Amino acid sequence: MIQIYTTPSCASCRKAKKWFDQYNIPYSEKNIFSIKLSKDDIYRMLANSENGFDDIISTRSKVFKEKKLDPDSMSVGELIDFIIENPSVLKRPIIINETELQVGYNNEDITIFLPKELRHNENILRATRLMDMEEDFEEEE
C-alpha cells in the first residue's frame, strides 16, 4: 500500500493526496507531527531512495541550522534517531510503496504510482493534449 508522510500546512502534501483521491488510489497518510515515526519508517524510505538521506532530509531546515549539525559527520543510527526526534527535517511529502519513493509533488513523476493500465491511459491523454496544444499553436500562426 502507498504511504504518504505529510504535515498539515504542506500544500504539496495536499496536492499529492488530491491526486491519489482523483484516481481512486488507496493510500495511508502519516502526519509526521502527530504520529511518531519509527525506525522502520525511516529504513523503508532509505531502502527505496537513490541517494539515501540526501533524498529525504532538508539540511537547510531550521533545526539543522540552529544545532549546526553536519549530517555527513553523523552515523546512520544517529541520523535516524535525529529524524525521529525532529521530523521537521524531512522533505515533504514523502510518498512510498513497496518499490518506489517520491519526495515532493510533481504531477508527472507521481504517475509511477498509477496501476500499469491507468499509466498507459494517462500517457495517451498526455500525448493527445500535446497534439492539441500544437494544433492550437499552428492555428495562431
The residues, any chain, with a CB within 8 Å of residue 83's CB and separated by 6 or more, are 37, 42, 56, 57, 89, 90
Q: What whole-number distance in Å separates Cα of residue 13 and Cα of residue 102?
A: 12
Active-site residue 10, yes or no?
yes
Q: Which of 4, 5, 6, 10 is catalytic?
A: 10
Q: Of 95, 84, 67, which Cα lies nearest the Cα of 33? A: 84
Rounded to 5 degrees, what angle do the CA atoms 109, 3, 36 make?
130
Cell of 102: 517520491
Contact 101, 48 (CB under 8 A): yes
Cell of 31: 502526519
Residues with a catalytic annotation lie at 10
